[in-house]
Amino acid sequence: MIINNETDYGTPASLSANLVTLEIDGRKVTVPEGTSVMRAAGETGINIPKLCATDSLDPFGSCRMCLVQIEGARGYPASCTTPVAEGMKVCTQNEKLANIRRGIAELYISDHPLDCLTCSANGDCELQDTVGAVGLREVRYGYEGENHLDAAKDGSNPYFSFDPAKCIVCSRCVRACEETQGTYALTIDGRGFDSKVSPSQNQAFMDSECVSCGACVQACPTATLMEKSVIDHGLPEHSVITTCAYCGVGCSFRAEMKGEQVIRMVPDKNGQANHGHSCVKGRFAFGYATHKDRITTPMIRDNISDAWQEVSWEEAIEFAAEKLKQLQAKYGRDSIGGITSSRCTNEETYLVQKLVRAGFGNNNVDTCARVCHSPTGYGLKSTFGESSGTQNFDSVKKSDVILVIGANPTDGHPVFGSMMKRRLREGAKLIVADPRTIDLVKSPHVQADYHLKLRPGTNVALVTALAHVIVTEDLADEKFVSERCDTESFAKWKTFVAKPENSPEAMAEVTGVPADAIRGAARLYATGGNGAIYYGLGVTEHSQGSTTVIGIANLAMATGNIGRDGVGVNPLRGQNNVQGSCDMGSFPHEFVGYRHVSDTKTRALFESAWKVELQSEPGLRIPNMFSAAIDGSFKGLYIQGEDIAQSDPDIQHVHHALRQMECIIVQDLFLNETAKFAHVFLPGSSFLEKNGTFTNAERRISPVRKVMTPLGGKEDWEVTQDLANAVGYPMNYKHPSEIMDEIARLTPQFAGVSYAKIEAMGSIQWPCNDEFPEGTPTMHADHFVRGQGRFMLTEYVPTDEKASRKYPLLLTTGRILSQYNVGAQTRRTDNVAWHEEDRLEIHPHDAEELGINDADWVGIKSRAGETVLRALISERVQPGVVYTTFHFPHSGANVITTDNSDWATNCPEYKVTAVHVAKVSEPSRWQKQYQDFSDKQETLLKDRIVAHEHE
């Protein structure tokens, strides 16, 4: 159920261009062909009572509450399932209809507990509303007969409860689970009076297939499926539209509030990215924002072995600024830097990079996108001319062939995963290239046509082999190429990919994928209609990450799959604002809008706007910062909203680097792992506590709105501004909208963006400027941003991480639905009910050979380090490959990952590490040492000198 003032039209809108005119209760109405009578009535303001219909789901016609009379038609058709027809005359209200509806309502109510006054849905119940609307005054049947009033409640899901006594068996939940979410976890069990809703095989919700997306809860018209937060706190009284702060889908939500308390998050049906759907993280996992671990007072210390001291904001900022200035005086201008966060807003990110470039006077700024999608930036800019995906999410509705490479949308980008599954159920073909059998390969009513189960680290070999087939079998779209691309580069590329060593037969050896599967997949992608490629970190986080991105761009250009709806190259971004943080000039070599620092004209533009001289040389990237810290030339770092001490690879090396530094300033919600190495802690603000914007994977700039006062007293951008002023670079913004105005003035892609426009349009996809005043859903429509598309050669270079006698297995890493990244947020919510520890997935054959049973402790050792996890025996991984996640700091997955990185961007190779696995009986040495260190740091936090003691 939803509390809002939006009209529920009962059935989805029809997209038909043909219009039909009819008469409803004497009013003339014109609507698109295919519209239901119910919706047509609703659009003219006539509300027909309904129970089983809602406009997010296809009509079902089971409750009969919505019946109407139609001139010339027999009986009383259901208005939700009856489409409009030209000249139709409909009557929605008369004595007869009222009687029938009252009769139906009476039947429902006779098997419904009449505890409305104390029901959690009181005031927000469609049954209550409908019964009121039809004017039911008396119920003739008592509770003596058979009824469902004693049916047991299911409270197993941590976020919502299921009270079958209140169920009216309208099937909305079942249909929501099928149509909206695509999980098929619910069924109607039994027939007639005995029919009831049940998760999977009459299981409890938590034991069923349910992924807790909440779509059924939202669809339920009664209190049967209800958020526990509403049961506990009552209904919200106002709501604010904002944007999810978890993944790159960027779902739009109504934060439903009681004063300053979030009661529930309800995905916004007008949300242009998510159209009213969400996943378990965005909808339910917001409790971290008010978790007791939040640190809300600034703290400082001279050494990381000292106890923390709480101080005022002024003292903390002064302390930090002084340290930074001293370091620069002692070690030089380039000895300090900053890291921006893909979890923070565009405005905050922009400010941090501005502080570094203008305030610190160097270009030592980088962002966590370094470790995820920097190869996307390099690869797509080099080939297409712009560092971004080419489509909007809705584009998938027009795809005929979907090629998913190294991405796991149902876990990583769940709402988009559901959209994709919907399209696949409609008949689109699917090719999955992934070393693991991800859910998409086979799930209810979805089955991949090809699963190219390649060996980790061989993406380039596979992509080039696909290109080989396209070129040698004459499947390329030569017309598109000759009109749109640089033909010289195409000719060179053709010669290269056509070489016999790039054939599927030759590459089968390398990739482990049979040649005929590669050939079949290539033919399907090239000739199956609109071909769309979606890829994720399984592409980028490799030593040849950028090369694979280039190879993907080559495939799309060669087959003409670019520049219109249904096609394109779509990087699925990990964190909510990865696209935005990259756009905002977070990389050390480029200003906002991807303009290189060496470009004199751009530099002059920024110098005059920022009134300061800027450097023309690229600064240090994150891994370079660590190396420079170890060699003693890099000493101070300001980190906003990032946890490099957990998320970065070869973590022992990272920790060693952090210990060498003299001033680490961490701005965050919690004492994260990095803060354990810090000298200054500045309390961060959650997405609920500030204003700003996030940019999702489809370049969509969406609003983030403040719904509560920042617990620490300041929004994150204000803290950066204070720090800038303290180091001597004046900043004086009154509101983040002024920061966006500055970004728009300085950046061609953002020239038309403003808060007023975002407010008016809901969200904007950049580029938005004079050429595209309403934004740009599809890029490169008439021409590539760089002019002509450029083909580049993609020679396969094997990674150094090869299976050997010493390290016989390949470890690859990933993430799961319920946890998010380093887990700092989701670990502090009930989402731990689904995933309470990181496990090592291992194939039964390997497990048997190594004598490992499910849940055994196993040691995993690479050339970088060793850690211990519990085993999970699973056929999702192939023999020879093991897999784990890194949501928990003490799992130490990043103790094992190595210093290997992408050749172009230094994006770490998280996805391939050669390892040795054996059964063990205790945690690794690293784990013990780190546990000690971490415990000590927790004590130093607990024993902190509080502000007044200090005075």
Interacting residues with other proteins (CB under 8 A): 334, 363-364, 492, 496, 543-544, 546-547, 588-589, 596, 598, 617-621, 624, 627-628, 630-631, 633, 793-795, 797, 899, 901, 903-906
| Residue 680 near ligand FES by CB under 6 A | no
Which tokens sit at 172? 């909305």
Taking the C-alpha atoms of residue 453 and residue 513, their distance in angstroms, rounded to an integer, is 6
Taking the C-alpha atoms of residue 792 and residue 203, their distance in angstroms, rounded to an integer, is 53
| Residue 185 near ligand SF4 by CB under 6 A | yes
The nearer residue to other proteins, 276 or 379, going by C-beta atoms, is: 379
| Residue 68 near ligand FES by CB under 6 A | no
- Choose, by CB under 6 A, the member of 22, 40, 168, 401 that binds ligand SF4: 168
Which residue(s) pair with 262 in the sheet? 257
Q: 15-54: which residues touch ligand FES (CB under 6 A)?
A: 50-53
> How many CB atoms lie under 10 A from the CB of residue 320?
27
> How many CB atoms lie under 10 A from the CB of residue 478?
13
Per partner kind, with CB cut-offs from 5 to 8 A, the member of ligand SF4, other proteins, ligand FES, none near residue 905 is other proteins
Taking the C-alpha atoms of residue 47 and residue 213, their distance in angstroms, rounded to an integer, is 29
- Tell me the one-letter amino acid at 613: E
The nearer residue to ligand FES, 57 or 711, going by C-beta atoms, is: 57
| Residue 250 near ligand SF4 by CB under 6 A | yes
Question: Is the separation of the CB atoms in 440 and 448 below 8 Å?
Answer: yes
For the chain, helix, strand, coil in percent to 5 are 35, 20, 45
Least distance (Å) between residue 275 CB and ligand SF4? 11
- Choose, by CB under 6 A, the member of 62, 171, 297, 778 that binds ligand SF4: 171
The nearer residue to ligand SF4, 344 or 553, going by C-beta atoms, is: 344
Taking the C-alpha atoms of residue 634 and residue 37, their distance in angstroms, rounded to an integer, is 69
Question: Is the separation of the CB atoms in 205 and 151 below 8 Å?
Answer: no
The nearer residue to ligand SF4, 186 or 746, going by C-beta atoms, is: 186
Residue 187 sits at φ, ψ, to 5 deg, of: -140, 160
| Residue 177 near ligand SF4 by CB under 6 A | yes
Q: 212-271: which residues touch ligand FES (CB under 6 A)?
A: none
Binding segment for ligand FES among 64-72, 270-278, 298-306, 618-626 (CB under 6 A)?
64-72
Least distance (Å) between residue 503 CB and other proteins? 16
Which tokens sit at 35? 């519209």
Per partner kind, with CB cut-offs from 5 to 8 A, the member of other proteins, ligand FES, ligand SF4, none near residue 592 is none
> How many CB atoms lie under 10 A from the CB of residue 28?
9
Question: Binding-site residue total for ligand FES (CB under 6 A)?
Answer: 12
Name the CA dihedral angle for 250, 256, 262, 268, rounded to a multiple of 10 degrees: -10
- Choose, by CB under 6 A, the member of 48, 70, 165, 170 that binds ligand SF4: 170
Residue 371 sits at φ, ψ, to 5 deg, of: -95, 10
For the CA atoms of the chain, what is the radius of gyration? Answer: 29
Beta strands, E only, 492-599:
531-535, 569-571, 590-591, 595-596
| Residue 278 near ligand SF4 by CB under 6 A | yes
- Choose, by CB under 6 A, the member of 39, 50, 101, 172 that binds ligand SF4: 172
Which tokens sit at 39? 């919706």
- Choose, by CB under 6 A, the member of 2, 38, 97, 215 that binds ligand SF4: 215
DSSP output for 55-109: TTS-----S-TTB-EETT--S--BTTTPBP-TT-EEE---HHHHHHHHHHHHHHH
Least distance (Å) between residue 388 CB and other proteins? 19
Taking the C-alpha atoms of residue 297 and residue 305, their distance in angstroms, rounded to an integer, is 20
Alpha helices in 782-900 (DSSP H): 844-850, 893-896
Per partner kind, with CB cut-offs from 5 to 8 A, the member of ligand FES, ligand SF4, other proteins, none near residue 777 is none
Per partner kind, with CB cut-offs from 5 to 8 A, the member of ligand FES, ligand SF4, other proteins, none near residue 617 is other proteins
Taking the C-alpha atoms of residue 239 and residue 265, their distance in angstroms, rounded to an integer, is 9
Buried b (16+ CB within 10 A) or exposed e, 370-384: bbbbbbbbbbbbbbb
The nearer residue to ligand SF4, 821 or 913, going by C-beta atoms, is: 821
Per partner kind, with CB cut-offs from 5 to 8 A, the member of other proteins, ligand SF4, ligand FES, none near residue 247 is ligand SF4
Least distance (Å) between residue 544 CB and other proteins? 8
The nearer residue to other proteins, 897 or 901, going by C-beta atoms, is: 901
- Choose, by CB under 6 A, the member of 40, 251, 708, 871 that binds ligand SF4: 251
Least distance (Å) between residue 259 CB and ligand SF4? 24
* 3-class SS of residue 664: strand
Residue 433 sits at φ, ψ, to 5 deg, of: -110, 105
| Residue 740 near ligand FES by CB under 6 A | no
The nearer residue to ligand SF4, 31 or 176, going by C-beta atoms, is: 176
**CA angle, residues 211, 212, 214, in degrees to nearest 5:** 135
Return left, alpha or beta for 103; rule: phi > 0 is left, psi -120 to 50 is alpha, else beta: alpha
- Choose, by CB under 6 A, the member of 82, 92, 212, 818 that binds ligand SF4: 212
The nearer residue to other proteins, 596 or 925, going by C-beta atoms, is: 596
The nearer residue to ligand SF4, 425 or 890, going by C-beta atoms, is: 425
- Choose, by CB under 6 A, the member of 66, 173, 669, 832 that binds ligand SF4: 173
Taking the C-alpha atoms of residue 573 and residue 373, their distance in angstroms, rounded to an integer, is 7
- Element containing residue 443 per DSSP (H, E): strand 442-443
Least distance (Å) between residue 703 CB and ligand SF4? 14
Question: Is the separation of the CB atoms in 13 and 35 below 8 Å?
Answer: yes
* 3-class SS of residue 47: coil
Residues 6+ apart with CB under 8 A from 736: 345, 347, 348, 690, 691, 692, 693, 715, 717, 755
| Residue 65 near ligand SF4 by CB under 6 A | no
Per partner kind, with CB cut-offs from 5 to 8 A, the member of ligand FES, ligand SF4, other proteins, none near residue 793 is other proteins
Q: 403-422: which residues touch ligand SF4 (CB under 6 A)?
A: 414-415
Which among 438, 777, 745, 373 is positioned nearest to 576, based on CA atoms? 373
Token match 């927790």: residue? 938
DSSP output for 340-390: E-TTS-HHHHHHHHHIIIIIISS--EEEGGGGTTHHHHHHHHHHTSSSS-S
Site string for ligand FES, 569-598 (x = CB under 6 A): ------------------------------
| Residue 915 near ligand SF4 by CB under 6 A | no
Beta strands, E only, 129-237:
160-162, 186-189, 196-199, 225-227
Least distance (Å) between residue 875 CB and other proteins? 34
| Residue 78 near ligand FES by CB under 6 A | yes
Bond prior to 456 in cis (omega within 30° of 0): no
Question: Is the separation of the CB atoms in 702 and 694 below 8 Å?
Answer: yes
Least distance (Å) between residue 902 CB and other proteins? 8
Least distance (Å) between residue 159 CB and ligand SF4? 9
The nearer residue to ligand FES, 54 or 341, going by C-beta atoms, is: 54
| Residue 169 near ligand SF4 by CB under 6 A | yes
Least distance (Å) between residue 617 CB and other proteins? 5
| Residue 121 near ligand SF4 by CB under 6 A | no
Site string for ligand FES, 793-822 (x = CB under 6 A): ------------------------------
Taking the C-alpha atoms of residue 362 and residue 342, their distance in angstroms, rounded to an integer, is 21
Q: Note the residues at the interface with ligand FES (CB under 6 A).
A: 50-53, 61-66, 78, 80
Q: Note the residues at the interface with ligand SF4 (CB under 6 A).
A: 167-173, 176-177, 181, 183, 185-186, 197, 210-216, 219-222, 224-225, 244, 246-247, 249-251, 274, 278-279, 281-282, 414-415
